[in-house]
Homo-oligomer: A and B are copies of this chain.
Amino acid sequence: MTSHVKLRKEKTGTVDYDIQIKEVRCQLVDQLKVLDLKLEQKTQQLQDLTDYLRRRGEIENEYARSLEKLAERFSSKTKSQTSVLRKDTTTNSVSQVWVALLTHTRQESKDHSEISESCSNVLIQPLTNCLDYTQRLARKVSLQPQQCTKKPWVLDKSTSLY
């Protein structure tokens, strides 16, 4: 009778343990789902930001090249005129205006070329690293539920020893 009660108690303890393990497993699976969703959102955000910077870099580059071409076109045009009319003070003042205007245009072109470089390379690099890290994390997370499904069987075997 005593051994029967002892066996019953042991069986009840094993069942409680199984229930607890199942509950923890369910909680873990739920938390992993939340983490998985968050990782997915983060990946999307990083991807969007990378896309924005890549396109912005292209736009800045196009703008810089257009300004450079414009400056180049009028630089050669006004240079030939200036060389012909060097002694005329009025023309000199106009040519000075041209020099200032084209210098300013070239400077703007350079500035936007640097912004393009920053967008396309400098800023994208840490984002790409972050994206890689997030994706590695996402892969690990996607493997966790399998491990969770395996573990209880291991635990079930171990608990059967009690």
A interface residues (Cβ-Cβ under 8 A, vs B): 41, 44-45, 48, 51-52, 55-56, 59, 62-63, 66-67, 70, 74, 77-78, 81, 85, 91, 94, 101, 105
* Chain B residue contacts of A48, Cβ below 8 A: 74, 77-78, 81
Q: A81-B41, A81-B44, A91-B41 are in contact. Are A59 and B67 (CB under 8 A)?
A: yes
User: Looking at the complex, which one of B45, B51, B66 makes contact with A81 (CB distance below 8 Å)?
Assistant: B45
Q: Which of B59, B94, B101 contacts A63 (CB 8 A)?
A: B59
Q: Are B59 and A94 in contact (CB under 8 A)?
A: no
A70 & B44 in contact (Cβ 8 Å cutoff): no
Q: For A70, list chain B residues within 8 Å (CB).
A: 52, 55-56, 59
Main secondary structure of the interface of A (DSSP, over half): helix
- In the complex, are the beta carbons of B62 and A66 less than 8 A apart? yes
A101 adjacent to B52 (CB under 8 Å): yes
Q: How far is the CA of A81 from the CA of B46 in the complex (A)?
A: 13
Min CB distance A92 to B, Å, is 12
Residues of chain B within 8 A of A91, CB atoms compared = 41, 45
A52 CA to B51 CA in the complex, in Å?
33
5 CB < 8 A contacts A-B: A45-B94, A48-B74, A48-B81, A59-B70, A63-B66
Partner of A41, one of B62, B63, B85, B101: B85
